[in-house]
Structure 1
Amino acid sequence: YDGGICTRLDCVSLGVVVNQAAQRFYDEGEDFWPKRYAIWGRLVAQQPGQLAYSVIDSKATGRFMPPVFPAFKANTIEELAALVNLDPLELRKTIDSFNQSCKTGTFDHNVLDDCHTENISPAKTHWALPINQAPFYAYPLRPGITFTYLSLKTDETAAVFFQGKPSANMFVAGELMAGNVLGKGYTAGIGMSIGTIYGRIAGASAARAIQVNAQLQEEVHATA
């Protein structure tokens, strides 16, 4: 089930993310959420079973908007692992290794702070705090669809291509043409930005097409 913002998890940067082997697989502190949530969707989709878990401790609670579904909660890492069907020893090993690598500076979740890890791969470059204060929480992560990159081919005037040529009177905006702009990455809000910008472009192009057609009709009538 994908409920949009109600099911989106903003706690990824506040702990670690592990796959079903209880192993970390990417830098949880790479960047702010407008960039990272699309990246994490792709990363989780590449994991076994397209499933991962965001593991945090009680220090992280209150620092993000909780989703509609509650987390798994336990007083120990081993108990938490059992709740989500992970190997308790492997998760304990992953958490201990992460905790030992944390070089705590001045934590500030509003900036790219200096709390980072050392001598661990993958590194966590920001917001790295030891996961050591019970209770512990695990949120399941699964990829969801914001929109697809499939679209009609257009040019800079938002004209739809037919047989390799731009249409004289058909123009599109938004998701119908977003694939012409987007690559592999996605930043929060860019879909709405494309819709807004190309909505204006398509509207202006359509208005010009109507004017051209009206002029042609006048010329035809004048000739007749």
Structure 2
Amino acid sequence: GIASRVDGVPFGVVLNKSAKRFYDEGEDFWPKRYAIWGRLVASQPDQIAYAIVDSEGVERFMPSVFAPIADDTIEGLASKLSIDPVAAKNTVDAFNAACPDGPIDQMSLDGKTTKGLTPEKSNWSAPISKPPFFGYPLRPGITFTYMGVAVNDRAQVLMKDGKPAANLFAAGEIMAGNVLGQGYLGGIGMTIGGVFGRIAGAEAARVLNR
């Protein structure tokens, strides 16, 4: 699965419907976390979570086409998100208290780690304290599956016996599982399509020109 607006996750906290954090928001750079957050959100109640950032955090990633939900208080934002205001405030307060001093460096894994939380946040831990506050609903979705056809390095489809088909080629999502492991890096789907599209096209032309 893929989670929407995962680019905002590292710069705040993610709460489920119970107003609880459930994973390390700063584990790694966001383009490498699409599939992981998709699976995580899919396992939460009603398959929804919310990335919560403040007026500083929201400036650290691209603005969305659709405006986030906003309020001048965490409690007010939580009410608009239909989660418990008191629980949300307690979670954010505990997070803020666990953040180290000093600015974060979003261009590196800066080691700005919280202390005393479960789960901890590994990097980019800055207090969510400057209003207004913003909430981005996160939902899982499908970009592509890891299933599909097996191919060789000439983009030939491999048949049941493991031998390549003479005139059947594949590129893009249908064979992406040959390249991907357990995760997804932002943009890699287009890369796979572009690279294997060229290979498949060249190989198909070779067959036709025999």
Task: Mark yes or no: TM-score above 0.5.
Answer: yes
Deviation at 1:207, TM superposition (A): 4.0
Structure 1 133/106 Cα, relative in aligned 2: closer, same or farther at 3 Å?
A: closer
Counterparts of 2:205 and 2:68 in 1: how far apart (Å)?
52
Cα deviations by residue, 1:33-54 (Å, 9 ceiling, x for unpaired): 2112332122111211110001
Task: Find out whether 1:179 has 2:177 as its counterpart.
Answer: yes
Deviation at 1:104, TM superposition (A): 2.4
Counterparts of 2:5 and 2:114 in 1: how far apart (Å)?
26
Listed as ranges, the gaps of 5+ residues in structure 1 are 215-224
Residue correspondence of structure 1 range 45-124 to structure 2 within 5 A:
45-124=42-121
TM-score of the aligned structures, taking structure 2 as reference length: 0.89
Deviation at 1:208, TM superposition (A): 4.1
Q: Percent identity?
A: 54
Q: Which residue of 1 aligns with 2:189?
A: 191
Could you tell me which amino acid in structure 2 is paired with residue 121 of structure 1?
Answer: T
Deviation at 1:155, TM superposition (A): 2.4
Could you tell me which amino acid in structure 1 is paired with residue 93 of structure 2?
Answer: D
Deviation at 1:115, TM superposition (A): 2.4
TM-score of the aligned structures, taking structure 1 as reference length: 0.83
Q: Decide which of 10, 21, 25 is 2:18's aligned counterpart.
A: 21
Deviation at 1:134, TM superposition (A): 1.9
Deviation at 1:189, TM superposition (A): 1.9
Q: Decide which of 7, 11, 17 is 1:10's aligned counterpart.
A: 7
Larger deviation, residues 153-162 vs 38-47: 153-162
Q: Does the CA contact (< 8 Å) of 1:104 and 1:128 recur in 2?
A: no
Cα deviations by residue, 1:76-124 (Å, 9 ceiling, x for unpaired): 2222111111111211111111111111233222222242211111111
Listed as ranges, the gaps of 5+ residues in structure 2 are none
